[in-house]
Amino acid sequence: MLQFKQKLAEVTSESRDREDDLERLRGVAEALVQSPKTGDASRVQDTMRRLEQSWRELDDMLSDKRKEAGVREEQSSRCAISLAKKLTLCAHPKFVYLCTRRVILK
């Protein structure tokens, strides 16, 4: 569980680090589209649309994985609490006596 969250944090951090690169690319693409020297700018526009779509998909996926990690963590926490309650019950003197008595009677 910890490894999943750690890897997710690394990927999210790298994604955020790359946002500046994406902004620079947007500026360069806009300059190319506006430049009369470029000629047909449709390839630049198409490439940027695909890049923007991929970026949104990455953001969506990371968001989904963060939610998934939160759900996993909550489930793990509930399981640990439930286990702790059961272990506390098993340590109760009456329960120990009954379990011991059952073993002896068998």
pLDDT at 98 over 60: no
What does pTM read for this prediction?
A: 0.64
Grade residue 2 by pLDDT with cuts at 50, 70 and 90: confident
Using CB atoms within 10 A of its CB, is residue 82 exposed (0-12), middle (13-18) or buried (19+)?
Answer: exposed
The per-residue pLDDT for range 76-85, each reduced to its tens digit, is 777 777 777 7
For all residues of the chain together, what is the average pLDDT?
82
Q: Where exactly are the structural domains of the chain? A: 2-81
Where does the chain have alpha helices with state H?
2-34, 42-90, 93-105
Q: Mean pLDDT throughout 17-35?
A: 93
* CA separation, residue 5 to residues 2, 55, 63, 68 (Å): 5, 21, 12, 10
